[in-house]
Amino acid sequence: MLLLVGLGNPEPRYAGHRHNVGFMALEAIARGHGFGPWRSRYSSLISEGSLDGEKVLLQKPQTYVNRSGYAVVQGMRFYKLALQDLVVIHDELDLAAGKVRIKTGGGVAGHNGLRSIAEQLGSRDFRRVRIGIGHPGHKELVTGHVLGNFSADDRQWLEPLLDALTTAAPLLASGDDVGCMNKIALLVRPPKPESKPESEPRRRAEPGPPPAADRSS
């Protein structure tokens, strides 16, 4: 079984925040693949379903981002899951907006949700789906950026990206991280402009018959 965790904050006022893109991703996957209703369990909202024949549990911790690890550990202990059964979807400041990278292990890059999970598990060796939200450019702007709503311009890339992630989710469930990233990149790639057919060269005007002789006298 795969435990697919999305990070975010639980109150409705946070629903549109960049920090909640993990929740948004799980909601899109649940809709797109016919998962069951969300239920309260393990200090979380849980939805059950399957991807690529694999049983999948979607988990939205309701503990706030910086205590996500407490909820994740409850679910993993109940189902007796190993690290390789866990995938965490989260926002990533160090990726350009709209980019997706999947990796196993690594640092927490200042993300309090990842830090909480790593501390509770005693390991950082779990898979992460990193969804780029871009960096505002200055350190003092980070909190407002992360805890701010996606803008109207952001929505132009966000919704297609969530759709692409939903389509590629079975590859994630089967462990094909590279295939999943490639599929997402292909689906969100803007279409190539249609090439216009070359115009036919103009034909030269054929010389007409000579003018009739003037027979008037």
Q: Residue 166: inside a domain, yes or no? A: yes
Q: Residue 157: inside a domain, yes or no? A: yes
172 membership: H or E segment, kind and range? helix 152-173
One-letter amino acid for residue 44 of the chain: S
Catalytically annotated residue among 19, 33, 90, 145:
19
Beta bridge partners of 3: 57, 86
Q: What is the pLDDT of residues 39-95, one digit of tens each?
A: 999 999 999 999 999 999 999 999 999 999 999 999 999 999 999 999 999 999 999
Q: What is the pLDDT of residues 106-161, one digit of tens each?
A: 998 789 999 999 999 999 999 999 999 999 999 999 999 999 999 999 999 999 99
Q: Residue 201: inside a domain, yes or no? A: no
Q: Per this entry, what is the length of the chain?
A: 217
Residue 216 tokens, joined:
């008037």
Residue 4 has pLDDT above 50, yes or no: yes
* CATH number of the domain to which 81 belongs: 3.40.50.1470
Which single residue is written with the structure tokens 């789906």? 129
Domain count, the chain: 1
- Higher-pLDDT residue of 45 and 200 is 45
Give residue 42's domain range. Answer: 2-188
Q: Residue 194: inside a domain, yes or no? A: no
Q: What is the pLDDT of residues 148-157, one digit of tens each?
A: 999 999 999 9
One-letter amino acid for residue 67 of the chain: R
Quote the radius of gyration of the chain (alpha carbons, Å): 27
Q: Residue 76: inside a domain, yes or no? A: yes
Residue 182 has pLDDT above 50, yes or no: yes
Strand 86-92 with 127-132, pairing = parallel
Q: Residue 119: inside a domain, yes or no? A: yes
Q: Residue 210: inside a domain, yes or no? A: no
Q: Residue 86: inside a domain, yes or no? A: yes
138 catalytically annotated: no
CA dist 60 and 24 (Å) reads 10
